[in-house]
Structure 1
């Protein structure tokens, strides 16, 4: 039961999408291509496209095709909890039957079932307290500090 790089790339991609959308007044609220997000985040375009397709299915982002198409947020970053993102992308968290609701052959006598349920609950409880806006604000602070120290 672990988080994969997929969630990290998703959050990083969403962060970069936000930055690209808000880089100057003339470009606010524009749709951002997956190519630009991939380039800015340093994540493979193919992998990021698959991740964003899953995020689109979950209605975290949406997209439009065409010359002026691209991805955009369906709701404000302060209304997107990291738990929403991780829940969509992280099937490994449901790898244990007792956590996913499946039938486990040892369920009646399993002494560790409560462990996996508590761990998953703890992870999602913490992730639900953090919004994408929190990540954006933290990233902006780190970038500002990096500029000052150069």
Structure 2
């Protein structure tokens, strides 16, 4: 299950993409259009800026904008940034050490298949597909 942070992050990015503007879009406008608390969106937007997914500017003409074209964002990278790994089990996480049960584990092939299906699905979807 994905958190509201991930779902709202997608909504922020979709909203920014729909504006088709070279100007910064005020967060209060996004909050109104998306019917989400501006306070909560501030937390999510800061995380998106930190991850390089959007740019922010403060001041009178401040707000947020995409850092690249909508077709250059995968849904997977957005969810990955907000949630962390897609790995359904610890032994499939990036930089996981050798699992002591890898030689006898009867479920690893199932987890690996699920992981690849999920990852390929979300990384195969582009932000532009959601517009």
Number of aligned residues = 129
2:49 to 39, 44, 56: 56
Query: CA offset at residue 92 of structure 1?
Result: 6.5
The normalised TM-score by structure 1 is: 0.73
Q: 1:44: Cα distance to partner?
A: 2.2
- The gaps in structure 2 that reach 5 residues or longer are none
Q: Which position in structure 2 is the counterpart of 1:102?
A: 96
C-alpha contact (below 8 Å) 2:71/2:127 kept by paired residues: yes
Shift of 1:105: 6.2
3-state SS, counterpart of residue 68 of structure 2: coil
Structure 1 moving runs of 4+ over 6 Å: none
How big is the shift at 1:77?
0.5
Q: Which runs of 5+ in 1 are unaligned?
A: 23-27, 137-150
* Cα deviation, residue 132, structure 1: 0.8
